A and B are shown apart, each in its own frame.
Chain A
């Protein structure tokens, strides 16, 4: 199977996961989005030199993945895609911040190492939280919840359209790539000197397509806003879930549970 078809398959796998009927899937979409946002804020708000406080936050996605019957491997593969960017960002910390902050078995741990680990852990936790959200909630439901939360239409439309047309874009890249390779049989991939025109053509085609899609939307009365949002009343059960889990996450953020446990054990 070609790499492009594999990419399309990876996207559709996540879509198929949303069809399951587990306790996590049954949660209302607005509840899942709200808790995910609280989780993300809690994780991101840690300072770069705090790592121990982040460790308890690992349990939340693990519990959700277990209850939601979400296979770990596909999620982990997607997390790996995000890691190179994090590594690239974090490496500067390792190089420039060499002040020793503590010793572990006579090995000096620099502030750079601590902040690097913090960035890495934050990336893994936040990406996992978002992937769990989109594995348990259909994009349609998410779009309507976002509109209900008064997130600007323009942002919601961007998310919706990106999701809808990513398959088309990958398909287009696949066609162009195969057309190239069939006329350059000795090459393994696109030559660097041809990458510019290749990407340029892709951008032009994307603009043309976007223009046609926008015209099609205008022809059906679109004027910039998604006018429809399913009015979803949050049930009592959902409120209990929001309050319980929300408070738990806030408590985990305010109290360094790892430190407290460490103190108890010592």
Chain B
């Protein structure tokens, strides 16, 4: 379970990005975080993994509070899939990229080999084992980036704009993959259609605060609410004149 309690985050330039943010995510839930640009979505994700310490308020993950002393444990429990997979794939080949996290946590090399084989088979990327990360296509990079997190078996996975830069086919493939994951997921996204399809609940951020919260089908179909939050209805619900 992930619990955020009165979270306030201020950047060094004095900009208050998150203001007394509070919500809770239960085990196994898929929750979408939506909001206009600058609403604080990415800041929230970075705070959860302790990148933006210190902050005011509390973040608790499965009973473990996020603070400087617990960062190693927190980051073992929470995986982050970054918006740009090039930021996340920094080893020279796919195998070493996926193994990176496990090695940092002292997992035996034989066990690493087994885990990587399993995850690559599951994601249908075993053909990429010895490929150079920088030579992969955008979609392949995204899937490999997810593999680097899944292999660590975190209890919570945070996604920052997972469908950005993806073509429709790869986007669909990614969504099917996310649907099949039973792990607790928090997805920060502008892709409201994806949020509508994938998320159990949606939290709408506005100016660093929770503006609205509820079932995805109720929140994302409320045109007035979405407009007030600086958003619009998902494309699938809009009347588009062709």
- A residues contacting B by CB (< 8 A) are 12, 15, 138-140, 143, 160-161, 163-165, 167-168, 209, 212-213, 215-223, 227-228
A218 touches B92 (CB 8 A): no
B90 touches A221 (CB 8 A): no
A212 touches B87 (CB 8 A): yes
B92 touches A213 (CB 8 A): no
Residues 122-149 of B, flagged 1 when their CB comes within 8 A of A and 0 if not, give 0000000000111100000000000011
Count chain B CB atoms within 10 A of each CB in A15, A221, A228 and give the residue with the most: A221
Q: How far is the CB of B73 from chain A (nearest CB, A)?
A: 10
**With contact pairs A212-B82, A212-B87, A213-B90 given, residues A164 and B134 touching in the complex (Cβ less than 8 Å):** yes
* Closest 7 pairs (CB-CB, A-B): A221-B104, A220-B101, A212-B87, A228-B103, A216-B88, A219-B80, A167-B134
Complex Cα spacing A138 to B92, Å: 9
Contact of B86 among A140, A168, A227 (CB under 8 A): A168
A140 touches B92 (CB 8 A): yes
Complex Cα spacing A138 to B206, Å: 49
A212 touches B84 (CB 8 A): yes
Residues of the A chain whose Cβ atoms lie less than 8 Å from the Cβ of B101: 220-221
Residues 213-239 of B, flagged 1 when their CB comes within 8 A of A and 0 if not, give 000000000000000000000000000
Residues 72-98 of B, flagged 1 when their CB comes within 8 A of A and 0 if not, give 100110111010101110111100100
- Check if B62 is an interface residue, CB within 8 A of chain A: no
Contact of B92 among A164, A216, A227 (CB under 8 A): A164
A227 touches B79 (CB 8 A): no
Q: How far is the CB of A261 from chain B (nearest CB, A)?
A: 44
Number of A-B contacts (CB under 8 A): 71
Complex Cα spacing A228 to B105, Å: 11
The SS class assigned to the B binding surface is helix
- The interface on chain B, measured as residues whose beta carbon lies within 8 A of the other chain's beta carbons, has a size of 35
**With contact pairs A164-B90, A220-B152 given, residues A140 and B96 touching in the complex (Cβ less than 8 Å):** yes
6 contacts between A and B (CB under 8 A): A164-B92, A219-B51, A219-B79, A221-B76, A228-B99, A228-B103
Complex Cα spacing A216 to B82, Å: 8
B49 touches A216 (CB 8 A): no
Residues of the B chain whose Cβ atoms lie less than 8 Å from the Cβ of A223: 72, 104
Q: How far is the CB of A128 from chain B (nearest CB, A)?
A: 23
- Check if B211 is an interface residue, CB within 8 A of chain A: no
**With contact pairs A164-B91, A219-B75 given, residues A228 and B134 touching in the complex (Cβ less than 8 Å):** no
A220 touches B92 (CB 8 A): no
Q: Given known contacts A164-B92, A213-B90, A218-B75, what 5 new A-B pairs fall within 8 Å (CB)?
A: A140-B96, A221-B72, A221-B75, A222-B100, A223-B104
B46 touches A164 (CB 8 A): no
Shortest Cβ distance from A160 into B: residue: B92
Complex Cα spacing A143 to B71, Å: 27
Complex Cα spacing A189 to B5, Å: 54
The SS class assigned to the A binding surface is helix
Shortest Cβ distance from A231 into B: residue: B109
Q: How far is the CB of B44 from chain A (nearest CB, A)?
A: 14
- Check if B106 is an interface residue, CB within 8 A of chain A: yes
Residues of the A chain whose Cβ atoms lie less than 8 Å from the Cβ of B149: 220
B79 touches A216 (CB 8 A): no
Count chain B CB atoms within 10 A of each CB in A167, A209, A219, A222 and give the residue with the most: A219
**With contact pairs A164-B133, A219-B80 given, residues A227 and B103 touching in the complex (Cβ less than 8 Å):** yes
Shortest Cβ distance from B152 into A: residue: A220
Residues of the A chain whose Cβ atoms lie less than 8 Å from the Cβ of B96: 140
Complex Cα spacing A152 to B148, Å: 26
Residues of the A chain whose Cβ atoms lie less than 8 Å from the Cβ of B93: 140
Q: How far is the CB of A231 from chain B (nearest CB, A)?
A: 10
Contact of A168 among B82, B109, B134 (CB under 8 A): B134
Residues of the A chain whose Cβ atoms lie less than 8 Å from the Cβ of B90: 161, 164-165, 213, 216-217
Residues of the A chain whose Cβ atoms lie less than 8 Å from the Cβ of B103: 227-228
B51 touches A215 (CB 8 A): yes
Shortest Cβ distance from A221 into B: residue: B104
Q: How far is the CB of B82 from chain A (nearest CB, A)?
A: 6
Shortest Cβ distance from A209 into B: residue: B87
Shortest Cβ distance from B72 into A: residue: A221
Residues of the B chain whose Cβ atoms lie less than 8 Å from the Cβ of A163: 92
Count chain B CB atoms within 10 A of each CB in A138, A164, A213 and give the residue with the most: A164
